[in-house]
């Protein structure tokens, strides 16, 4: 299953390697593009201590599964992968991983970026920052922890 939702911290490089080992044959692909979005420890306001990522579980899974299928139809790929956190996230922790495996680099790069852009624009996740002064929902124009 190429779209994975996790409520715990994850190591993106281990996820890529495990997925690749379990799903693809070495020598089958020539190009692997990946992207990791992680929580920065500084923001508009210096007092952000951690973040809570709410989501709409059934729709999130459905959206990301469908996104992976659309991605495989749009580009010539061997495989693609999306991993996304939800729940409490500490500064420095990875939030999202997208990856694409292809024979050729253009498809790998374009697919990896397509996954991220679509996910950022449409996947039903909402970030709430926890600060010393309380909590606040993140708005898109704040470009908070990565963008």
Partner 1 sequence: MTIQPLIVKILTMSINIQFFASLREQIGKSQITLPYDAPLDVINVWAQATGDTAMPSNTLCAINMEYVKPNAVVKDGDEIAFFPPVTGG
Question: Where on the chain is the footprint of partner 1 (CB under 8 A)?
Answer: 37, 53-56, 58-59, 62-63, 84, 95-96, 116, 119-128, 137-140, 144, 146
Distance, in Å, from the CA atom of 96 to the CA atom of 116, rounded to the nearest integer, reads: 9
Q: Which two tokens stand for residue 32?
A: 């692997």
Distance, in Å, from the CA atom of 137 to the CA atom of 87, rounded to the nearest integer, reads: 14
Q: What are phi and psi of 75, to 5 degrees?
A: -120, 160
- Residue number, 13 or 137, with CB nearest to partner 1: 137
**Interacting stretch for its own copies, rule CB under 8 A, among 9-17, 49-57, 68-76, 129-137?**
9-17
Closest by alpha carbon to 87, among 137, 138, 125?
Answer: 125
Q: Count Cβ atoms below 10 Å from residue 96 Cβ, excluding itself.
A: 21
72 binds, among its own copies, partner 1, none (CB under 5 to 8 A by kind): none
Q: Which of 6, 10, 38, 131 binds its own copies (CB under 8 A)?
A: 38
**Interacting stretch for its own copies, rule CB under 8 A, among 54-62, 68-76, 102-110, 125-133?**
102-110
Please, what is the minimum distance in Å from the beta carbon of residue 60 to partner 1?
A: 8
């Amino acid at each position: 299953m190429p779209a994975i939702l996790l409520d715990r911290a994850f190591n993106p490089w281990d996820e890529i390697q495990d997925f690749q080992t379990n799903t693809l044959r070495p020598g089958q692909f020539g190009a692997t593009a990946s992207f990791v979005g992680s929580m920065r420890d500084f923001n508009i306001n210096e007092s952000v201590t951690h973040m809570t990522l709410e989501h709409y579980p059934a729709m999130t899974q459905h959206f990301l599964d469908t996104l992976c299928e659309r991605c495989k139809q749009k580009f010539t790929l061997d495989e693609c992968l999306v991993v996304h956190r939800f729940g409490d996230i500490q500064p420095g922790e990875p939030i999202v991983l997208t990856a694409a495996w292809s024979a050729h680099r253009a498809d790998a790069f374009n697919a990896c970026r397509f996954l991220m852009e679509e996910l950022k624009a449409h996947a039903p996740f909402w970030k709430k920052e926890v600060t010393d002064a309380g909590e606040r929902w993140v708005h898109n124009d704040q470009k908070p922890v990565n963008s």
